Structure formats: structure tokens, C-alpha cells
Structure 1
Amino acid sequence: MTALSVVGRSSKYSSPAPRIHGDDALYRVAFETSKVPTLIVDDDMTVVLANAEFAQRAGYSRSEIEGRMQWTRFVPETERPRLEKYHRIRRIDPAAAPHCYESKFITRNGSLHIVAVYVAMIDGSKMSVIALHDITERKQMEDELQKAQKLESLAHMAGGMAHDFNNALTIILSSISLARHYAAASPEAVAKLREAEKEIMRAKGLTSRLLTFSRGGEPSLKTMKIDDLVLDTAHLSLLGSDIHASYHVQDNTWHCRVDASQIAQVVSSIVLNARQAMPAGGTLSIAIENVRLDQRQHHALVSGPYVLITIRDTGIGISPEHLPRIFDPFFSTKPRSSGLGLSSSYAIISKHGGHIDIFSEQGIGTTVYLYLPAAPEDAPATVPELSERKASLLLVEEDKQVRETVAALLREYGHAVTPVPSGVQAVRTYETALAAGNPYDAVILDLSPIGREGGRGCLKALLELDAQVCVIGGSRYAESFNLAEYRQYGFAHVAQKPYNIDQLIEILRQVMLRRP
């Protein structure tokens, strides 16, 4: 490589600057004015020359660097053996050492950057030219992409698992609700059956974590202030511990569009992690504040207003080797842990249009930053009076046991139910009833793929037959729908599976109130 002819340095680097021969002044100008941080390094790794850009990035003056510091002074100790090895090999056989590699660059104030290092030997000497390209932002974006790809790879598996699990829960819950109806004369039996229903609804929470990874786990968004939600969840998660909690909430925090249950799940998971990191007690501080971000400040977020939740603990911290993997699904260092807590949290916050950052230092503690997009305040919805009318229902459900159990349960509550197994049959049945002048009051439509048309095709066909059709979506694994915006697809309501009979009857009452 032709570069500066650097001469005049003694072994002690006593000369304040190298002399430049004739035309080499052109190279010196290019070196000095380049916006690429560049060094010339001697055989013993001492920096002979540093251009102005390198000095500015490093935070030192050139007089502090040149002849006084080794190149490895600017990389972490863990990186130095590798760079020293490359340096030795390059002086024996330049072709045997990599001319480009990734490393880390430490500035005077301790900030760490990921850099691409380009190295070439200077012809006729033992010196080399080193140029650095900061790729920190690119690596962070790659890391975000890898996280997203890992979660995406589990989407179909998680959705399928939730589908099957919810089918089983629907059959069990419907059967218990039916038994409770039959046992109305026995208060003791009803009480026990209600306990069983509660436990099944707790099991439903497990499927919600799986659905978070699938497209069917979209949040059901409502506009609200999140202050009380965050603090109440944190308080409950700390009950019985020796941890001192401190809270700071900025006045007039902005509203956010959130799924309250999912955000509570995120906060609970983070606070429980903090609690486990402080077995002998400690301090947990939570701050909620309004922030305005520019995309240049945070590459993972679009510019705009956000509500920032900061959760900081004084626990044992996370080791550097584990920190890059904390969002990996099923990764955990704790026994009997599912490893889904933080990966679920990451997916939830991402689906809300936000972002989660975690910084940790062993022996100091961990800080979690949750960014949620701010939203304009919406007026609260009014709740109409409920109707007692009974409905004629078309139940579309592909699973035979679920179909029969739910139909029997609805009939016990006085509703007339026609169960069908496919979308094609549902359209034909509805069309026949419509032609006879007796359209169904509502269609309960399973949104998992049904027959060849699937839930979406069935809904479209029903709307083409009757623009006034009332369709209640039964959701568990709905790959084609964002259930948070169900009305824009033509649904009157959405009922989460496994069905809670009280909630389903409530939905039917509201639906009937709107019927002429």
C-alpha cells in the first residue's frame, strides 16, 4: 500500500511529528481531512499518527495519543489478545491476517461503539494504516431484526399450540358451565364449579402468552392513562417481599392506546424478574414520564411523542454473556422458568408500536425502559342497557366436540342454535334462512381456518348476502385479522376462546339490544 512515508521517529517517539517527503504531502492532506477515523500504527502497536477525526471520536488530543498510546488502548481488554494476534501475523505474512474485522471501540468517557476495522500494511515498513467505520447503529438494527425473526419463527407453532389448547379448554369450560347450570339447586356444587371455571380462565392466560407470538395475539387497544395500571401491577407483584418501592409519575402523562391486560403482563414480568434479582431485599424505582423522540435518538422508534416507563432495580444484574440473549424465546438462567417472560414482553411492546431496552451491570442492578406511543384521548364508550331477548344463532365451529358442547350450553340458556362445521355450509344455511324471511340474529364464527374459504372468506360471503348480518368472531388463532380493530372487518363483537359463558351471554344480550 502506498501511503505516507513516515520518517524521523526515534524508538522513543521523541519527534513531535513525522516529516513528509514531497508528494507525500498530498497523502498527508487526505489523511488529515478525512472524516474516517484513521491511525498509523508502528510495529509495537504504538500510534504514530492519528488524524483529527480519530482524536475527536476518541475524546483525546492528538498530542495525548501520538507516540504515547498503543492502538489496543482503544479496545476492551477482552478484545486485545485477538487484535495483538492479528498484528503479529500481519507482520509475518500480511495475507494471513484479516484486512477487515469487527471490534469494539472505547472512547475517553467510556462509551462503547461497534466498529469495522480496516487494516493495511505500508509498503517497505512494519507500520500499518488502520481505519475505523462505526457500525453501531447497523448492528443494533440487525439485532432487532434477529429478535423479530426469532419470534416470527415461533408464530405458527405457538398459534397452533394455542389453537389446540383453547379447543380443549373450550370443551372443559363449556361442560363445567353446563354442569353449573344443571346444579343450580345445589349452592355447594355451584361454588365448586365456579372455582373450576376460575382455574380454567387462569389457564387461558397461558394461551395468551403463546398467542403473543402469533398473529392472533394482536392487542385489543383502548385509549387510557397507564399510570394506575403500571403502579397497581407493580404493587401486587411486590406483595410479601422486602423490597422498597419508590414511584415517580410526571403530572399529566399522555394517554396511550394499549391492551391493559398485555401491558400488565409486561410490567408484572419485569417486576417479578427484579424481585428475583433482589432475594435479600433492595430498591425498585418506577418512573413514568412524557418524552418526545427523534428517530435519530432511537433507531427502533419513529419520531413522535411517547410515554416512557423506567423500571430500575438494585439487584445482582445480568452477566454480559447473558444480556444479548434475554429476549430469546425459552432462554432462562432460572430453574423451572419457561423463558417466555421477556420474549413475550418484547413482542407485546413491539405490537403496541413501542420498544423495550434493557441495560444491566452485575452487582449494580438492571434498568428497563418501556416506550409506548402516546395517543389522543378518546371519549369513554357508553354502555347500553342489556336486552333479555333470546337469539336464533348460527354456530360455525370446525371442531365437533367444541361445536356440540357450546351449542348445548347456549340452548340451556334459551337460545336457538344451528351448529355447522364449515364456512361453506354456514353461508348456505344463512342464505336459506334469509330467503325464508327468518335470518339468524347472530352468527358465532370461529376465526381459525374453516374449510376452503376460512373464517375471512366466510365473513365476506355472509356480508355479501346480508349487509346487516351480525357476526361474533370467536378468536383463538386468527392469522388474517387484527382483532383489536374487529369492527372494521364487519364484526359486531369478538368473543375470546375458551368461551366464558357469562361473558358470551353478555355479548349476546348486547347484540340483541341492537336488533330491530
Structure 2
Amino acid sequence: RMEMGPEERAVDRLRDAEKAALRAKHLTQQLLTFARGGIPVKITASVDDFLTEVVDFALSGSNVTYKLVMPDKIWPVAADIGQISQVIDNLIINAAQAMPEGGAITVAVENVTVGDPAPLPLKKGKYVKLSVSDHGIGIKEEHLAKVFDPFFTTKQKGSGLGLTSAYSIVKNHDGLITVDSQLHQGTTFSIYLPASPGPVRKKGKSRKREFTPRTGKILIIDDEEVVRDVAGRYVRHIGYRPDLADGGKRGIALYETALKKGCPYDAVILDLTMPGGMGGKEVAKKIRAIDRQAKIIASSGYSTDPIMSKFKKFGFDGALAKPYRISELSEVLETVIGGKAVISKQ
């Protein structure tokens, strides 16, 4: 799609295919979160940096609109943006499905301070509260206690995992998710996330720099041909020159040759799981033995792999969760080559 003009007929179909792939990614993440409890990779962030984008995406193509109520100076939170975006996405989709004839959802954000004794099962302190309210069919009183149970759903379509994974994610953030509903009047889901005193890491500006012309070489090591080819196209589109290797042995040889010629790679994107050959962790150690200054980015579709959440501990400079967009790849490359460790949002 990035190589086509906006007027070409295939663009819309490719955009739809991308949306379907992202939906599949979200469902897979829900299953992993439910099954293994996906450890959050937290950064200090402002909710307003990503909230609108998530809500717009969740409501794309629907007959439901939304109203955003968010005052200035909302406290930052320590959160895994990918996971919290997944929670918001689930809540917005549920709200839209509760209003099949259309309507408006209210998304409200506010700062709250929980005192002692606390009116909610939360530790004393500062929190950011995010609420999603609809004016739909509501939830029966006897069902309210079950809405976060695995596979419980009153819908004809749905996995029954959306709210379960939301509950698990918020709990892993030391937060709380609540529900209040009146039959035939509407439902409000609220999440409470601990406020963070740390400095906010801005993410929004990366898109403006996304296609800034660059020079340099990137080595992509992945046993999946399709993944290698797509990653190579992305890297070339951003401005770097890609070299592709179908396994650890070939990748190490390419890296060593480039180093001997005096033109080392600016970064290596390394698949962690390559059946039948060296694993990513072993390949990284061998490359690091050749060049201690190597910039190595771990890449995996398994978000629960400990390397993805603690990549620095395992000798990596960044992490890139599959499948990723070109904007995510661009940000990780730019930051890692610039000398800062970073993980893409999932």
C-alpha cells in the first residue's frame, strides 16, 4: 500500500486487509494475556497522547460517534500503551455493539485521589480514571458479576475474552476496572490507573519524522521469507539499505564480513524464534562477541517472551513486537541508532 497512489483501487482493499490483520493481532494478544498474564512493559505516558487514535480506530466504519470529556493537566500514568489501548479498544467496541441503531459514546478522563479509608479496593494515592459510557441496552443485574469471567458473553458473536483480558491487564497495572449498568438505559465501564510522577515519554512526534530520508544499512535476520521481505521493504522505504538473512549462521557471516570491510550495520533486527537453527538469543551473543558496539533489536510475535519485556537484561538494545507497522519500525530504528533503548507498542 505504501508504494501505491491513494487513487489506486487496490488501496482500499489493502487498508481493509490491514485492519483485519490488526484485529487478529488484538485477539491473539487477548488470548495470550488471558492464558499467560502478559507482563506489561510500562512507560510514563499521557493518556491524551494515544486515546483519540484508539477510539477513532475502534469506531471506524460504525454508526456510533463519541464525545470526549478530558480537562487539561491530566496526570501521566505508568502504563504499557499497547495493553491499555487494547483495554480501551474492547470497551469502545462493547459500547458500540450495545447501540446497534447508532448513538453517541461518552469517553471521560479525570484525575482522582483515593484516600484512606478508600471507597474502592485501591491503594491510597493518585489515579487517572477513564470511563466509557453508552446509552444502549444495558446489562442484566444477574450478569454484572460475570462480565469479567472467561468466555462469558451475551452476544451472538464474540469470543467472551475481551473484558476478561481487560480485567487482567488493568490488574497487572495495579489498577481497577468497574462496571455500572441500568437495563435499557446504558452501561459505564471505568478503569483506574495509578498516576506516575515520572517524566512523560512523548510518542506523537515520531510520525512527523517517519519518512525523513536516512542513510545506512540494516541487517534483518528472520527465517520467515514473507517477514524478511516485508521488513526489507519497510527499511528501504524509510531510507536505509536492507540486507536479508534467513537464519543466524547466515546473519552472523554477513555481519562479520561487513565489519571487516569497515562498513558495519547500523542495526540488526533479529527474530527470536527460528526453529531448526540458532535462537535469537544465541545469535545476539555471537554478534556481540564480534562487535561489542552492535545495535541489536529483538523481534517476536510472542509478547510474553521475557526478552521482549526485559530486552536490556538479555543484551538487546530494543524490541519490536510482530506484526508491526512501518511507523513502529521507524521509531525503534531511529531511537536505537540514536543510542536509546526502546520497545515498540504492542
**Fold similarity call, TM over 0.5:** yes
* Residue in structure 1 matching 2:165, options 310, 328, 344: 344
Counterparts of 1:463 and 1:442 in 2: how far apart (Å)?
Answer: 12
1:389 corresponding residue in structure 2: 215
The offset of 1:470, in angstroms, is 1.0
1:79 corresponding residue in structure 2: none
The offset of 1:467, in angstroms, is 2.5
Counterparts of 1:282 and 1:506 in 2: how far apart (Å)?
Answer: 37
1:164-313 correspondence to structure 2 within 5 Å: 180=3, 187=5, 191-206=8-23, 207-214=25-32, 221-227=42-48, 230=51, 237=59, 240-241=63-64, 249=70, 252-260=73-81, 262-278=83-99, 286-293=107-114, 297=118, 301-313=122-134
Counterparts of 1:298 and 1:453 in 2: how far apart (Å)?
Answer: 53
* Residue in structure 2 matching 1:333, options 154, 159, 177: 154
1:14-413 correspondence to structure 2 within 5 Å: 180=3, 187=5, 191-206=8-23, 207-214=25-32, 221-227=42-48, 230=51, 237=59, 240-241=63-64, 249=70, 252-260=73-81, 262-278=83-99, 286-293=107-114, 297=118, 301-363=122-184, 365-378=186-199, 386=212, 388-391=214-217, 393-403=218-228, 406-407=231-232
| 8 Å CA contact retained: 2:295, 2:337 | no
* Residue in structure 2 matching 1:497, options 308, 312, 322: 322
Task: Determine if the alignment matches structure 1 residue 442 to structure 2 residue 267.
Answer: yes
| 8 Å CA contact retained: 1:447, 1:478 | no
| 8 Å CA contact retained: 2:45, 2:201 | no
Matched-pair identity in % = 32
Counterparts of 1:434 and 1:320 in 2: how far apart (Å)?
Answer: 67
Bigger relative contact order (CA 8 A; separation at least 6): 2
Matched residue SS, 2:178: strand
Pair 194,250 (structure 1): closer, same or farther in 2 beyond 3 Å:
closer
Amino acid across the alignment from 1:191: E
Counterparts of 1:358 and 1:345 in 2: how far apart (Å)?
Answer: 12
Equivalenced residue count is: 327
Amino acid across the alignment from 1:471: I
Pair 194,452 (structure 1): closer, same or farther in 2 beyond 3 Å:
same
Pair 450,479 (structure 1): closer, same or farther in 2 beyond 3 Å:
farther
Amino acid across the alignment from 1:210: T
Matched residue SS, 1:291: strand
Q: Which has the higher helix share?
A: 1
| 8 Å CA contact retained: 1:332, 1:339 | yes
1:421 corresponding residue in structure 2: 247
The offset of 1:419, in angstroms, is 0.5
Amino acid across the alignment from 1:421: G
- Deviations 1:231-262, CA, capped at 9 Å, x for gaps: 77668849745x8x776546633111335554
| 8 Å CA contact retained: 1:410, 1:417 | no
Matched residue SS, 1:345: helix
Pair 301,195 (structure 1): closer, same or farther in 2 beyond 3 Å:
same
| 8 Å CA contact retained: 2:107, 2:131 | yes
Pair 260,440 (structure 1): closer, same or farther in 2 beyond 3 Å:
closer
| 8 Å CA contact retained: 1:233, 1:267 | yes
Q: Which runs of 5+ in 1 are unaligned?
A: 1-175
Two-structure CA RMSD over aligned residues (Å): 4.4
| 8 Å CA contact retained: 2:247, 2:278 | no
Counterparts of 1:353 and 1:223 in 2: how far apart (Å)?
Answer: 14
| 8 Å CA contact retained: 2:216, 2:265 | no
Task: Determine if the alignment matches structure 1 residue 468 to structure 2 residue 293.
Answer: yes
Matched residue SS, 2:306: coil
Q: TM-score w.r.t. structure 1 length?
A: 0.50
| 8 Å CA contact retained: 1:310, 1:369 | yes
The offset of 1:372, in angstroms, is 0.8
